[in-house]
Amino acid sequence: MSSTDDRRFEILRAIVTDFVATQEPIASKALVDRHNLGVSSATVRNDMAVLEAEGLITQPHTSSGRVPTDKGYRVFVDRINEVKPLSVAERRAILTFLDTAVDLDDVLRRSVRLLAELTHQVAVIQYPVLSTSRVRHLEVVALTPQRLLLVVITDTGRVEQRMVTLREPLNDDDLARVRTLFGTALDGKRLEEASAAVSQLVDDCPPGLQRPVLEIATVLIETLVERGEDRLVLGGTSNLARSAGDFTPALGGMDTVLDALEEQVVILRLLAHTRENDAVMVQIGEENAAENLRSTSVVSTGYGASGTFFGGVGVVGPTRMDYPGTMAAVAAVARYVGEVLAGR
């Protein structure tokens, strides 16, 4: 890249940085006064004219300064060479805060609360995807001789409970045998493998247990097969009010963003692109497929452990966003959520 291109990028970077901080259009004089660009005001004005012609900045009003466009933000984000690591103290604080959570639900609630506080945006995290989990434990609890409670606990801390009503009562000895059969068949298996093991168990079970095993297996398979309605946890929705002026009225303003957040399927589709841990994705403005999020940016990544993807985590906010800081926060929280869940 030529020195002229480098200089123009530095001017773009300065405009992005100042606009994020002030929410005011940036004039050439302000750039010269605030930044050591090493060139004259005339050169800055000429470079701004080129950036505007390239669609990277725009003039919202006659005689006003310039603001970045979605394309300008994209060029800026693409030139962020690496995600800035958090300090040792920040990392320790995040890990301590998450590690003291009592269960999976608490870990996820704490994660979005922390991420919303770090970024001043709306934070969202997906519950661990069932198909990537392994069965850690299956508990079969007899509420009555004919009514059982099945509790499936995965290695990501996810807990699924189902009720089974048997046609015939089950005595204590048979209940113990059933519990051992299913526990042995499922222990340590990925959920897609566990489903197949349960199906095989129906064919191989001892005489006299075929009916209760079939009834329990039918409910378990429905539980183990991946479902489309994965849940999300959101936090920091009130942060949108701080940036109400950033949301384009032509695209419906802040109300459309709130509507999108209420429709979890929209956010799940955004997070569906984040299938890799440690790779931070940024979708800016018009890059978002959901029409009611066209005035926002979404910064997201995957979380997990040992190369296994558990789910997606990220933030939603205006395109006028501190991208380097937000990307660093999302990456850090994702990393530690994965470590905490893997260690439980």
Helix (H, G, I), strand (E, B) or coil at 110: helix
Query: For residue range 274-325, what is the model confidence (pLDDT) as tens digits?
Result: 766 568 999 999 898 888 888 899 999 999 877 778 889 999 999 999 999 9
Query: For residue range 102-152, what is the model confidence (pLDDT) as tens digits?
Result: 888 899 999 999 999 999 999 999 988 766 678 888 899 999 999 999 998
For residue 241, what pLDDT band results from cuts at 50, 70 and 90? confident
If phi over 0 gives left and psi between -120 and 50 gives alpha, with beta otherwise, what is residue 176?
alpha
The residue ranges of DSSP E strands in the chain, in sequence order, are 57-58, 67-68, 122-126, 135-144, 147-154, 159-165, 232-235, 281-284, 296-305, 308-318
Using CA atoms, how far apart are residues 125 and 267, in angstroms rounded to an integer?
Answer: 9
For residue 53, what pLDDT band results from cuts at 50, 70 and 90? very high
Fill in the DSSP letter of residue 37.
-
C-beta separation of 143 from 288 below 8 A = no
User: Judging by beta carbons within 10 Å of its beta carbon (0-12, 13-18, 19+), is residue 16 exposed, middle or buried?
Assistant: buried
Cα-based distances in Å from 8 to 17, 50, 246, 284 = 14, 8, 25, 21
Task: Evaluate if pTM is beyond 0.75.
Answer: yes
Domain segments of the chain as ranges: 3-78, 88-128+231-342, 131-224
pLDDT > 70 in the chain, percent:
94
Q: In angstroms, how far is the first alpha carbon of the chain from the final one?
A: 49
C-beta separation of 126 from 132 below 8 A = no
pLDDT > 90 in the chain, percent:
41
User: Judging by beta carbons within 10 Å of its beta carbon (0-12, 13-18, 19+), is residue 42 exposed, middle or buried?
Assistant: exposed
In total, the chain counts a number of residues equal to: 344
CATH of domain 88-128+231-342: 3.30.450.40
Does domain 131-224 fall into CATH 3.30.390.60?
A: yes
Fold classified for 3-78: Arc Repressor Mutant, subunit A (1.10.10)
